[in-house]
Structure 1
C-alpha cells in the first residue's frame, strides 16, 4: 500500500484497534471529512482476530459504496474488485481475492439470510449509521443475534458522523466509544433575514421555495469562488430551480462557464458520478441535490452550500396502507451534515434559508425510517430469519406494533404468510428474490404464467423502482412508460399518447434493472423457460399460456372466460389459490393491469365515473387530470399518494373484469347477503361476487337460507322496534299485565322494550318461520306468542292477581288498563259504582286501582284512588254539574245507599 496522506481519523485508529482486539463490538464517532469510511476498513485488514477473513462495510447509498471501494482500491494501488470490491443493486465488482466488500443495505440482508453464520466474514462495519435507514437497523439486529447464537468472534463496528453514541453502545453490550476530533475547514454560517424576505419566513409572504433558492444562488455566485451545492427537497423543486437559473443566463453569457447538474438517488449511477466529479479546469458547477449529498459522498470543489432547510420523506400510513411523501424541515443533525459539505476541501460558507430563531425550532434528531416506513419488507425478512415477532431481536428502536401488524396483514394478502403469520413456501421464495414484497409476488406469479408475462413483470418492477422515464408526463397510465422502454430497446420513438420526451438515462436504468430481475427469476427456477415456469409456479402448478413475441405480451388483453368458473380454482401446495382455475385458462397473455394486481390487490379500483374509483381496500381514489384511464371500468393502481379523503392515483393500468376471475380468483369471494331492507320493510337476499370491497356481480336470491332470513328479520325488528309487531288490545294488555306482575313475581319474563329486543331469538324467532316482511309480522298472533312465554302456573297466578276485568256493582265487567304499571286504571261510569264503599284493589289487595269516574258521555269527571273520600266530599259538587248537563239521569243524594246502574235510571 502506497504512503497515505494523514487524515484526522488516523489519531483514533489505535484506540479503535485496541477496542476491537479486546472485545467484539465498538462505536466510532467521527465528523465528516475525518476519513473513517476509507481508512478504517484498510486499518483492520491485518488484525490477528480477523484471521484472513472478510470485512463487510455497509453503506446506505450505491454511489457512496462504489466511491468508497474505488478510493480504497486506489490507495492500495489496485483496481476495484481485487482486494477491495463492492456489491450494489445492478452492479457488483468482487473477486476471489476480495477481502473488503462495500455493500448497500439490502445486499447485507441477503447475505445474512443466505448464510446466518457469515462464514468467512470477520467484521461487519455499519457506516453512516446516523441516517437510520430501515435496512441498517434490521441488519444490525440480525447481526447481533447471529453474533450471540452463532459467531461470538464476529466483530461489529457502528460508525457515524452525528450520532448519539451512548444508546448504540448499550445496544452493542456496553461497547467502547471511540471519538475522532476530525478536521474540517472553517465554514461561515449565514442565516437569512426575514425582513429581506430571504428565509423560511418568506413563505408567509407568498414566495416559493424555488424562487427563494434560485435568488440565493444568483446572489452568491459573484461573491464566492468554487462550486455551489444546493439542497432541495426533491426532483420537482430541482427541475424548477434549474429552469429558473437557465432563464437567468446560467450556462451562457457572463455565466457561460457555470454548469448546472442534478444529484438525486433515482438517477443512474453514472450520472450521479458525473455530478460529484471535479469540474474541468476553468469551469464551475451548481449541484442541485437532495439529502443524498448530506453524507458519505464528497462533491469535489464545493465551497458554498445553500440549504433550503427542507427535505422529502416517506410517511407510511397503516390505516390506508399507503405511503405519502411529505416535505418537512430538516433536523439539526441533517442541517449540520449539509453545512459540513462546504468545508471538506477548503474554507467555505453555508447559507441557511431560515432565520436564527427558526434554527432553535428544528428537531434535535432525525426520525428513524423504521418508525415511519412500510414494514412489509422488514416483516418478510424477519419471518425468513425465523423470528415470529420483532421483540425477539434487539433494536435501537423497536418497530411500531400497529405498522407491523398492518405489514403482516398485507403479507397474508400477498400469500407470503398463512393465517398464523408463518412463512409459506411462496413467501420464502419472495424473501429469497430480494425484491420489495409486492413486486416479488408479481414477479413470481407472472413467471408462473409464461416467459412473456415474466418479462413484462420484470419491466414493470424496474419502472416502479426507479425514475419516471417520461419527462413531465401527466398521464398515470404505466403502459406509456412500458412503451417508452420497449421503444428505446428497439431504437424507436416515444409511444403514442406520451406528452413529454423520454429520459433515456432513466429508461436505460430501468432496462438494466429489468434484466437483473430476469436473472433473479432464472436463479429462482422460474421464468427461464415454459417448463421451468410451470415447475416453479408460486401457486403450485397450472398450465402456462402460449407465449407471444417477447416484450409485446402486455398489449394483448386476456380472453374472456366464463364468469364464476375461475372462482373454483384449486389451491396449490403452499396454500395459495391457483392463478387460474382448470376451466378458466386465458388463451392470451395477462394485461399490464392483471400483472400489477398481483402486487397491489388492495389497489384494484372500480370506476365510479369522472376519474374516481373505489379501491378493493375500501378507500376512494381519483385520477387527475381527466385522462383515458379515468373512464376505465377497472384499474390496478401501482403508485398512489395518500390523502385525507381520496388517494391520488399516480401510476396505474386498466384491467378487465374477466382477468380478476382468471388470474386473481383467490381474492374473489362469494358473499350471500341476507339483510333487512328498511325502505322495502322486508328481508332482501342477494348474492355478491366480491373482490375486497368491490362488488363484481350482484343478483337476488329467491330461496335464501331460512335461518339467515330469520336472523335478518330479527335485525329489522331491532332497527324498527317492537312497534312493528301486530299488537292488538288483548296482546298489549297481556304484556302490560305481566310487566305489572313482575313487581310481585320477578321470575316472570321481562317484557320491557329493551329486554324484548335483547332476547328476540328466544321468544320470537320460533314463531317467524316463513315470514320475510312487515306484512308477515302483522299477521302474527302476539297473544299466542306472549302466552308461550308463560307456564301454566304463571298464567293462573297472573289471572288471579292481575285480572283482565273487574266486575263493578252495576254488574258490568270493565277492562283494567295496565298501561301505567304503577297505577292500573279502571275507567267506569260513576253511576255504576253507587253503593261501593271502598276503592277496588288487585294483587290480593296490595295494589289499588286508579278510578277514572266517567260521565254518561264517557268523559272523566274525577280521578281518584280513594272512592270513599270522593263519595263523602266531592260527589255533591260533581253531582250539581252533572245534574244540569244530564237532567234525565239518576243522581241520588246518598251514593252509599243508591242503586248502581249502567242505564239512565235504575230499573224500578
Structure 2
C-alpha cells in the first residue's frame, strides 16, 4: 500500500468505524487514494470487497491500479487479487436483483456517491434494504470527494470519516471570451466559445508546463476543438504534444493511454467522465469550458434528450482539482469571476431529470413499485414515475396493479433499457444486433437511417463497431431462441424499434410525420427516409421552443409492423371537427380505426346522434346567421337582463340555453348548413319570459316630440336614441327605459352627431347656443330658434313647416 497517500492516516479509524457501525461515509479530496487504497485495506482485513463505480472508464482504471478483477456490461477481467472486484453500479444492480444477499461479498464500496447518478442512488437504496432485512453483517461504505456528507451519513446510518490529505494549490485564471457568446441552447454550443476554448488551450501550453486537461460538454465539442488544435499540435509544437480525446465512447486503448504517464506532453480533451473519479497523471493545467450535459425528459411526449447547461460551482471545483492532484497547478476558467458567483451550488441529481422507466422496473422487481419504500436522498418526481409506470404497462413489464410480471423480471435482467429488452425478448437472438445498436450512443457522424448504421457496424474497423459486436454477443446470450419467423434486415430493424418505442411509430402527414403518441416529427433536410410512408423512430428529441420532434434515427417500416407494435382501436367518433389548416368546423360522424393518434381508416356513420357535436359547434364557433334583426333583438334581451335581471336570461351563454330557444331546429340539425339556415330572430323570441312583454320593458322605438318613432340602439351599456336636434325642441328631460337614462345623440340635419347627452335641460341651457351659432349658417333652411324649449319640434325645413 502506498505510504505517501493521505488516506492511510484514516484507515485505522475507518476500519474501526465499519466494525462498530457496519456502515460509514468516507470523504476525501481527489487524489488521496480513497478509490484504490481503501478496498485493498478492507481486503487485507479479510473482507471480500465489491467496489461500484459510476463509469466504465473508472472501473477499468481502478481495477488496473489495484490489480483486481472488474466487470462491466459485456466485459469481465480476472485480476491477481481475488478479494476485490470492481463493477459499474449498473452491474451491481443486476447482481442485487439476482442475489439479494450478495453471497460471497462482505463489504460494498460505493465510490463517488456525490455525483448522484441514478444507478448509484438506486444501488445504495437496495443495499440499505439488504442490510436492514437480510445481511446486517454486510459492510457498506459510501465515498465522496466533497465534504458535504451530512445527508449521506443520515441515510446510511453510519458516521462520517474525513480524510483531509495534502492539497496542492491551484491558481485560478479567469479567461472569459473577448466578445459575448450565445448561451447554450439544447445541444448547440456557440462556435465562438469553442474557438475561444481552443485559444485558451494554446495559451495554457505556452504559459505553463505539464499536461493540459480540457473539459468540454460532449463528444461533438471535443471533436471540433481537436480539429482547431491540429494545426498547432503539428506545427509550432510538432512532435512535442500528443492529443487525446476521452469520453464514455472512447476506445479502451485511449482510456488506458490517458491514465498512464505519457512520453510527450499531452492535451487531454475530456467530458465530465474525467471530473472526479480518475487521476490523469501529469496534469498541471485545467482548461474548463464551464459547460456540461444533463438529461432532459419530455414525459408527455415520451422523448428524452441531452441538453447543455452551465456547470455548478461544485463541478467547477472538482474540475479545477484535477490540476492539483500531484503538484501545484492552474485552472483557466472560460468565464468571468462575476459569472462564477451566479452558478448553482450543485448539479441536480439524475433522479430529478432522467427517464425513470428503468428505475421504476428495478423498484418493482425489488418489491416497491412506487419506490416509496426505498431510502433515497431525493424521491423520484411523481410525474416522471407515473409516465414510467404507464410505459412499463404498455411493455408488459407490469400488470394493471403495477406488480412486476415474470416478463418484467426477465426484462430487468437483460442489462438494457426496458424498451429494448421488450424487443429482445419478443424477437429473439437475431434482434440482438439491432438492440446493441440502440443501447449505445451512435457515432457523431451516424446517419439517421438505422439500417445504414447497422451495415456500417457490420463492416467493422472502428472502435464503435468493436463495442457493438461485444454487446451483440452479450445480448445473444440473454435472448432465448423461439419459433420466430426469419426476416430480412430492414424488417427486423423496424420490428425492434417499433416494439421498443411503440409510441414513436410514425406515419407521413403533410410535410412531416405524426407519431402514435400524437407528437409531430420532422426528418432532417436531405434525409434518405423522406419517401417513407411509415417510420419507426429510434432516437428523437424536441428542440427547445419547437412543437415538433426532430428525428435523429429511424427505420422504414410497413403498416403490418406498425400494427405489431401498437394495438389498433376502432371507435365511433362523433365530433365537431375543424379540418387541418381550416377555420370552419362541421359535424363529423365516423367509425375510425387508429394506431394511437394515427388514423388508419374512417367510414361515415349515417344515423349517429350528433346533438353533442352540434352543441360543441355552437359553443366554439359563430355558426348561426345573425341578421340585423336578430342582433337588435339579442341586444334588447341583453339590456333587459342587465337592467331588470331575472327572469330575463343572459345573452352571454346562449349556447348553454340552446335547448330553450333552438328547438325544434336543433333536433333536426345534422350539419353546419342546417344551423346556418335557422331564423335566429324568431328563435330568440322563445327566450322572452312568458310573464313579460318585451316592448313594455325595452321598447323597440320611442316617440319623440316631433311625432317620429325613433329606433333605440341597445348595443351599448346604455340605450341610445339618435335623433335630429330639431325633432326634440321642447324636450327638457331624456326618457328612461327600465329606469336607465337614455343617452340622446343629437344629430345635425345631415345626420351627423352634434352632441351626446343624457341631460337635455343642461344641453339647452349651456351648449345649444354654441351649436346654433355654428350650424345655422351651414343649414339655413332648418330652424335654429333662440329658445329651443318653446319652439315647435319639427321633421321639416322652414319652407315646409
Please report the TM-score for the alignment, with normalisation by the length of structure 1.
0.69
Which has the higher Rg, Structure 1 or Structure 2? 1
> Are the structure 2 counterparts of residues 201 and 411 from structure 1 closer, same or farther at C-alpha, using a change threshold of 3 Å?
farther
* Counterpart residue number, 1:564: none
1:117-516 matched pairs, under 5 angstroms: 117-173=101-157, 175-184=158-167, 186-192=168-174, 199-201=176-178, 204=181, 208-221=192-205, 224-250=208-234, 255-279=238-262, 282-300=263-281, 302-318=282-298, 319-418=300-399, 420-447=401-428, 454-455=429-430, 457-468=431-442, 472-473=445-446, 475-488=447-460, 504-516=462-474
Q: Is the 8 A contact 2:59 2:87 kept in 1?
A: yes
What is the alpha-carbon distance in structure 2 between the residues aligned to residue 44 and residue 425 of structure 1? 38
Whether the 8 Å contact between 1:741 and 1:798 is mirrored in structure 2 is: no
Of 515, 526, 550, the match for 1:615? 515
Preserved contact between residue 296 and residue 307 of structure 2 (Cα < 8 Å): no
CA apart distance, 1:366: 2.4
* CA pair 721-629 structure 1, distance change in 2 beyond 3 A: closer
Whole-angstrom distance in 2 between the partners of 1:885 and 1:202: 85
CA distance in 1, matches of 2:795, 2:267: 109
**2:549 aligned partner:** 647
* Cα contact 1:591–1:655 (8 A) shared by 2: no
| Partner of residue 669 from structure 2, selected from 755, 758, 771 | 771
Taking the aligned partners of 1:422 and 1:296, their CA distance within structure 2 comes to: 37
Gaps of 5+ in 2: 183-189, 701-710, 720-737, 741-787
Q: CA deviation at 1:778?
A: 7.2
Secondary structure of 1:675's match?
Answer: strand
Correspondence 1:92-131 to 2 at 5 A: 92-93=76-77, 98-131=82-115
Task: Indicate whether 1:692 and 2:585 are aligned.
Answer: no
Contact 1:738 1:798 in 2 (8 A): no
Q: Secondary structure at the match of 1:428?
A: helix
Structure 2 CA distance for partners of 1:817 and 1:152, relative to 1, 3 Å: same
Match of 2:494 among 593, 605, 613: 593
CA positional deviation for 1:782: 9.2
Cα distance in 2 for partners of 1:156, 1:130 equals 16
Change (3 A) 1:220 1:752: closer
Alignment partner of 1:675 is 2:576: yes
Residue 619 (structure 2) pairs with residue 718 (structure 1): yes
Match status 1:701 vs 2:604: yes
For residues 611-648 of structure 1, the C-alpha deviation after alignment (integer angstroms, 9 at most, x for no partner) is x4333333333333312113322322222232131333
Separation (CA, whole Å) in 2 of partners of 1:879 and 1:257: 110
User: Is the 8 Å Cα contact of residues 112 and 276 (structure 2) preserved in structure 1?
Assistant: yes
State the Cα distance separating 1:509 from its structure 2 match. Answer: 0.7
Quote the residue 2:758 is aligned against.
Answer: none
TM superposition shift of 1:127: 0.6
Q: Are the equivalent residues in 2 in contact too, given 1:55–1:101 (CA < 8 A)?
A: yes
Query: In the superposition, relative to structure 1, how do residues 315 and 669 fare at CA in structure 2: closer, same or farther (>3 Å)?
Result: farther
1:554 alignment partner, one of 464, 489, 493:
489
**C-alpha contact (below 8 Å) 2:276/2:318 kept by paired residues:** yes
| Equivalent position of 2:722 in the other structure | none
1:773 & 1:149 partners in 2: Cα distance? Answer: 68
CA distance in 2, matches of 1:292, 1:107: 18
Deviations 1:650-706, CA, capped at 9 Å, x for gaps: 222222234313x12415555624326697775232343333333333x45041422
CA deviations 1:170-199 (Å, max 9, x no partner) are: 2233x3111111235x3442404x5xxxx3
Change (3 A) 1:223 1:291: same
**Which moves more between the two structures, 778-787 or 368-377?**
778-787
1:45 aligns with 2:43: yes
Instruction: Check conservation: 1:682, 1:772, Cα contact below 8 A.
Output: no
Q: Give the whole-Å Cα distance in 2 for the aligned partners of 1:797 and 1:286.
A: 92
Output the CA distance in 2 between the equivalents of 1:207 and 1:113.
45
Q: Distance in 2 between matches of 1:737 and 1:239?
A: 73
Q: Secondary structure at the match of 1:628?
A: coil
RMSD of aligned residue pairs (Cα, Å):
4.8
Deviation string 1:77-120 (CA, Å, 9 cap, x unpaired) is xxx4xxxx322111124699944332211112222222334344
The answer to whether 1:758 aligns with 2:740 is no
CA contact (8 A) 1:258 1:284 kept: yes
Q: Which residue of 1 aligns with 2:54?
A: 60
Work out whether residues 591 and 605 of structure 2, in 8 Å CA contact, stay in contact via their aligned partners in 1: no
Q: Distance in 2 between matches of 1:460 and 1:409?
A: 25
Q: Which residue in the other structure is 1:628 paired with?
A: 528
CA distance in 1, matches of 2:322, 2:676: 84
CA contact (8 A) 1:126 1:159 kept: yes
Deviates more, 1:350-359 or 1:626-635: 350-359
Following superposition, the deviation at residue 596 of structure 1 comes to 1.0
Summarize the Cα distance change of 1:69–1:680 in structure 2 as closer, same or farther, 3 Å threshold.
closer
Residue aligning to 1:16: 14
Equivalence for 2:476: 518
SS, match of residue 539 in structure 2: strand
Q: Distance in 2 between matches of 1:335 and 1:783?
A: 73
> In 2, are the aligned partners of 1:602 and 1:617 still within 8 Å (CA)?
yes
Change (3 A) 1:5 1:700: same
Partner of 1:903: none
CA distance in 2, matches of 1:724, 1:204: 57
